[in-house]
Amino acid sequence: MSEYTIDELNDLDETSFVDVLGEVYETSPWVAERSWSDRPFESLEALHESMRNAVEEAPRAKRLELLRAHPDLGDRTEMTDASEAEQASAGLDSLSPDQYETFQRLNETYRERFGFPFIMAVKNESPDAIQAAMEDRIENTEEVEFRTALDQVHRIARLRLEDLLA
C-alpha cells in the first residue's frame, strides 16, 4: 500500500479518494464514498470515525453485506492483498493439514450459525489464539456476534488506515 498524509487524502477528488480508501473496509467502497463529504479530516482518528459512522449508519442489510465481503480465515481462496497480508502475519497461510481442517470446520459451523464469516483482526495473532476465539465466539447469540464482528471490522479498518497513512 502506498503511504499518504492526511492532507494528501483531503486533497483527493472523490474518485481518487474512493480508489485509495475503497478497500479499507473489505471490498466495500461505499464506506469511503460516504465519508468523502466529511473532509477535511484533521487526523487518522477523524477519518476512521467518519468511516466507522458510515458503516454504523447504514441499514442492517448493508452492514451484513460488509460482513459477508470478508474471507474465511485460513482459507486458501483469492482475497484482497490486505487480507492476504494480515492472514500471513498470523501464520494462517502456513497451517498444518490438521489446523487447516479445523479452521475449515469452524468456519463452516460459524457461517451456518451466523450467516457471515468469522471476522477477527488477526494481524500478528497466532493460529492458536484465533482458533480459541473462534471456538469461544461460536457460542455467542446472533445479536452479540453481529456486533462483535462489526467491531472487529472497524479494528481491521483502523489497522489498514495506520498502514496507509504516513
Establish if 88 belongs to a structural domain: yes
Contact (Cβ atoms closer than 8 angstroms) between residue 126 and residue 90 = yes
CATH number of the CATH domain containing 76: 1.10.3330.10
pTM of the model: 0.88
* Pairwise CA distance, residues 26 & 71, whole Å: 9
Q: Which domain holds residue 150?
A: 6-164
Establish if 1 belongs to a structural domain: no
Helices H / strands E in the chain, number of each: 9, 0
C-alpha cell at 75: 482459507
Give tens-digit pLDDT for 95-135.
788 888 898 899 999 999 999 999 999 888 888 898 999 99
Q: At residue 83, does pLDDT exceed 70?
A: no
pLDDT at res. 125: 86
Nearest 10 degrees: CA dihedral of 121, 159, 66, 120? 0
Q: What percent of the chain has pLDDT over 90?
A: 71
The band of 155, judged by pLDDT with boundaries at 50, 70 and 90, is very high
Give tens-digit pLDDT for 85-106.
666 666 677 778 888 889 889 9
Residues annotated as catalytic are 70
CA atoms within 13 A on the CB side of 125: 18
Establish if 95 belongs to a structural domain: yes
Nearest to 148 by CA among 158, 162, 134: 134
User: How many domains does the chain fold into?
Assistant: 1
C-alpha cell at 161: 488506515
Comparing 44-53, 66-75, 84-93, 156-165, the range with the smallest average pLDDT is 84-93
